[in-house]
Amino acid sequence: MKNNRIVLFCAVMLIVLGFCQEHSTLHAQKPVFDLQDSLRGSITPERAWWDLTYYHLHVKPNPKDSSLLGDVLIVYKVVEPGQKMQIDLQEPMMIDSVIQSGKSISYDRLGNVYYLNLIEAPNKADINEIKIFYHGKPKVSYRPPWDGGITWNRDSAGSPFIATACQGEGASLWWPCKDHMYDEPDSMRISITVPKGLMGVANGRLEKIDKNRKNKMETFHWFVANPISNYVVNMNVAHYSHYSEIYAGEKGPLSCDYYVLPADLKKATEHFKQVPMMMKAFEYWFGPYPFYEDGYKLVQVPYPGMEHQSSVTYGNGFRNGFYGVDLSQTGWGSKFDFIIVHESAHEWFANNITYRDIADMWIHESFAAYSESLYTEYYFGKMAGYEYVRGTRANINNDRPIIGYYDVNYEGSGDMYPKGANMLHTLRQIVGNDSTWRALLRGLNREFYHQTVTTSQIEDYIASFLDLELASFFNQYLRDKRIPVFEYTLHEHMLRFRWNNCIDAFDMPLKINIDGKEQMIHPRTQWQATVLENPGENHVIDPDFYVAVINLQGSSDFGPE
- Among the candidates 479, 511, 536, a domain finishes at 479
CA atoms within 13 A on the CB side of 140: 8
Which range of residues forms the domain containing residue 117? 44-239
Closest C-alpha among 534, 526, 530 to residue 559: 526
Examine the domain organization and report whether 74 and 219 are in the same domain: yes
pLDDT tens digits along 358-370: 999 999 999 999 9
Examine the domain organization and report whether 417 and 502 are in the same domain: no
Task: Name the average pLDDT for the chain.
Answer: 93
pLDDT tens digits along 99-158: 999 999 999 999 999 999 998 889 999 999 999 999 999 999 999 999 999 999 999 999
Q: Is the pLDDT of residue 234 over 80?
A: yes
> Is 282 part of a structural domain of the chain?
no
Q: Is the pLDDT of residue 6 over 80?
A: no
> Is 278 part of a structural domain of the chain?
no
Average pLDDT of the segment spanning 397-418: 97
What does each C-alpha distance from 248 to 363, 416, 486 come to in angstroms? 28, 33, 47
Examine the domain organization and report whether 473 and 363 are in the same domain: yes
Examine the domain organization and report whether 94 and 195 are in the same domain: yes
Examine the domain organization and report whether 220 and 96 are in the same domain: yes
The C-alpha angle 51, 89, 17, rounded to 5 degrees, equals 100
Examine the domain organization and report whether 366 and 334 are in the same domain: yes
Examine the domain organization and report whether 372 and 492 are in the same domain: no
**CATH no. for residue 224?**
2.60.40.1730
pLDDT value of residue 537: 64
- Among the candidates 202, 224, 239, a domain finishes at 239
Examine the domain organization and report whether 518 and 417 are in the same domain: no
Q: Are strands 485-491 and 494-500 parallel, antiparallel or unpaired?
A: antiparallel
CA distance 238 to 242: 11
CB atoms within 10 A of CB 31: 11
pLDDT band for position 536 (cuts 50, 70, 90): low
Phi, psi of 483 (to 5 degrees): -85, 125
The total domain count for the chain is 3
pLDDT tens digits along 34-61: 999 999 999 999 999 999 999 999 999 9
Q: Is the pLDDT of residue 255 over 60?
A: yes
> Is 72 part of a structural domain of the chain?
yes
CA distance 458 to 357: 13
pLDDT value of residue 540: 86
Average pLDDT of the segment spanning 490-495: 84
How many helices, marked H, and strands, marked E, lie in the chain? Answer: 12, 29
pLDDT band for position 555 (cuts 50, 70, 90): low
Q: Which residue has the higher pLDDT, 481 or 214?
A: 481
- Among the candidates 479, 512, 529, a domain finishes at 479
CA distance 26 to 18: 10
Q: Is the pLDDT of residue 25 over 60?
A: no
Q: Is the pLDDT of residue 4 over 90?
A: no
Q: pTM for the full model? A: 0.93
